[in-house]
Chain A
Amino acid sequence: MLSPKQLFAGAVAAALLVLPAYAFDFGRPASSDEIKLWDIDVRPDGKGLPDGSGTVEHGKEVFAENCAACHGDNGQGGIKDRLVGGQGTLASDNPIKTVGSFWPYATTLFDYIHRAMPYQAPGSLSVDDYYALTAYILSLNGIVPPDGKLDKETLPKVKMPNRDGFIPDPEFSKVPVPK
């Protein structure tokens, strides 16, 4: 019996043997147009944020229509995750983790609601609506002013209260570049 390690080594050896002759045979090139359809991820530095913008004021309307049923009228008291408040509770016996108290990056909020919300129809709102929702939820937490507006330039500059609240695991905090 081969050990999993031996089997794995075997598979890799097989892969290396097969690669030069048959590489062209697997898959097909992706066109840049089709990559755009799926390439939705957003990084903390703003890379990946789409064109568009949204205001707190507009976000309030979008929220009432699409989000309040689950998250409550003002982002709390709903049946699903609380989005507002909890600042100063993280070190207590009953920490309240919300966008305002816990999330380290504002870009994560845009990325998440843009890909996954509203729950029943993810991604169905306009980019402007998602910017507006992001602005509104941040304003409920006192992070963006009531007359605020967000776009791909301003969103990455929003400093979240718990930005420095995370300790990266030493094993994975610095991944070495292979030689």
Chain B
Amino acid sequence: MSLKDWDRLVDSNNEEAPLSRRRFLASTTAGVASALLTTQATADTLADVPLREVGADLSGHGERSKFVHLAMLPEAGPGKRNVDPSDAINSKAPLGELVGTITPTDLHYERSHSGNPELDPAKHRLLIHGMTRKQLVFTVDDLMRMPSITRTVFIECTGNGWENWKKADPNVTVQNTHGLVSTNEWTGVPLRFLIDLVGKDRRSTWMLAEGADAAGVDRSIPLTEEIMNEAFIAYGQNGEPLRPAHGFPIRLITPGLEGNLNIKWLRRLKFGDQPWMTRWETDRYTQLLANGKAMQFQLRMETNSVITSPSGMMEIRPGYHRITGLAWSGHGKISKVEISTDEGRAWKQAQLNYPVLPKAQTRFQMDWVWDGKPTKIISRATDEKDNVQPDRKSFIAKMGTNALFHYNAQQTWSIDGDGRVRNALA
């Protein structure tokens, strides 16, 4: 079976019914054989494969295989890497080692402004007040008894990509360049339900959301129809209660918007008719342009993508490779990802792994035979609203190099004659 046939099988798998088992086995044979070309063989014949033996005792808690090593990367700021977690302001997800689209809960990126508090859910309260008919206090139990929704969305720190604003350190991984985005399944109460419950004044157009962390991080959220329809108060993350680092017991989820709007440890919603101009929407999370003016309330996370394999610090050999990566957009679904393997001259459409969900990460893949000559590989995402991820040159022309946040230029990986993959600006 040729690689081309395999591609067609993947396509039909995506769009139609699952493959029959026989077709699946036939197709995986080709896939595995080619994958082995780039994998170091430690069991040369089947005789070298260890004999079957009785395994370890079952456990009350599933751990990773001892052969699998996955960890986040704690950072104290751009370029201040691998610091002690107590000094870290964020921890990046290991995008280069992950498959599929769901980020394992313990590897979902973290960013907090005064540590990760451990809150007792029995003592936690949510106050909703301001321009409302009723001022109400809710317990976590109250929220869990309300009608719920479950939705898979990405959350992205607005600082994601900040390594590459001014220069590209060649010796970094995709975890360094893009590890401040993750996708989880979240469960909670629609904001619209709470709005109806408290009787929001029609004239209230902004909502302040505030956390119970030491910093009391707070953001003003514009109450557009889209936001009122899609935001929710989550208590569930990938099927279990939130982890402390992600806001236990409750947090706000605002699909597609800046990570910091998804207020963790949520304790207060206040309805008003203008933004509060908190520190987090003036001094921080505004984008300074080259002319000295700053973009404010640029809340939507832009169309983005990155090749996760091959990516920074990996080494490849000439021959067959399956390029894969992740694409996402705060505008909706990803409609197309294109890949260039010749420094941006020609572009070929990659396959998207289904389902493609709105405001969630989408896995893409494409086969490629590397001829061993130095080159650069780049991905470019387009979303359902026809927003195209910009190339670096036009992106910098618009945003300058001082914006710090909202970097979504196309990511370039350069590959030298020895197959070393390195971070590059373009």
Residues of A in contact with B (beta carbons under 8 Å apart) = 4-5, 7-8, 11-12, 14-16, 18-19, 23, 25-30, 34-35, 38-44, 90-91, 93, 95, 97, 99, 102-105, 107-108, 111-112, 115-116, 119, 122, 165-169, 171-173, 175-179
Contacts and interface: CB of A to CB of B under 8 A. Distances in A.
A102 B283 contact: yes
A149 B230 CA distance: 45
Contacts of B135: 29-30, 35
B187 to A, nearest CB: 10
A19, A104, A116 — most chain B CB neighbours (10 Å): A116
Contact of B127 (A38, A97, A176): A38
B371 interface: no
Interface in B177-224: 190, 192-193, 196-197, 202-203, 205-206, 208, 210, 214-216, 218, 222-224
A152 B267 CA distance: 26
Given A112-B278, A115-B215, A178-B225, A15 B196 contact: yes
B273 to A, nearest CB: 9
B197 A26 contact: yes
A-B CB proximity, top 7 nearest:
A91-B292, A90-B292, A27-B136, A112-B279, A175-B205, A15-B193, A115-B216
A103 B137 contact: no
A139 to B, nearest CB: 19
Contact of B294 (A8, A93, A105, A167): A167
Contacts of A112: 278-279
Given A30-B137, A41-B270, 9 more contacts: A8-B149, A25-B145, A30-B129, A116-B215, A122-B216, A166-B282, A166-B293, A167-B294, A168-B296
A7 B292 CA distance: 45
Contacts of A25: 145
B24 interface: no
B277 interface: yes
Contacts of A116: 113-114, 214-216, 279
Interface of B: 113-114, 127-129, 134-139, 142, 145-152, 190, 192-193, 196-197, 202-203, 205-206, 208, 210, 214-216, 218, 222-225, 229-230, 267-268, 270, 272, 274, 276-279, 282-283, 286, 288-300, 357-358, 401-402
Nearest to B224: A175
A26 B267 contact: no
A14 B286 CA distance: 38
Given A26-B197, A30-B127, A41-B276, A108 B136 contact: no
B373 to A, nearest CB: 36
Given A15-B192, A102-B283, A172-B224, A38 B268 contact: yes
B214 A122 contact: yes
Contact of A28 (B136, B202, B203, B279): B136
A30 B137 CA distance: 6
Contacts of B145: 25-26
B114 A122 contact: yes
A38 B267 contact: yes
Nearest to A107: B277
A28 B137 contact: yes
Contacts of A27: 128, 136-139, 142, 197
A95 B402 CA distance: 8
A106 B380 CA distance: 42
A166 B286 contact: yes
A52 B135 CA distance: 27
Contacts of A175: 205-206, 222-224
A4 B401 CA distance: 37
B288 A172 contact: no
Contact of A104 (B190, B277, B357): B277
A171 B358 CA distance: 19
A178 B137 CA distance: 25
Contact of B147 (A5, A11, A23, A167): A11
A23, A44, A178 — most chain B CB neighbours (10 Å): A178
Nearest to B139: A27
A15 to B, nearest CB: 4
B200 to A, nearest CB: 9
A39 B129 contact: yes
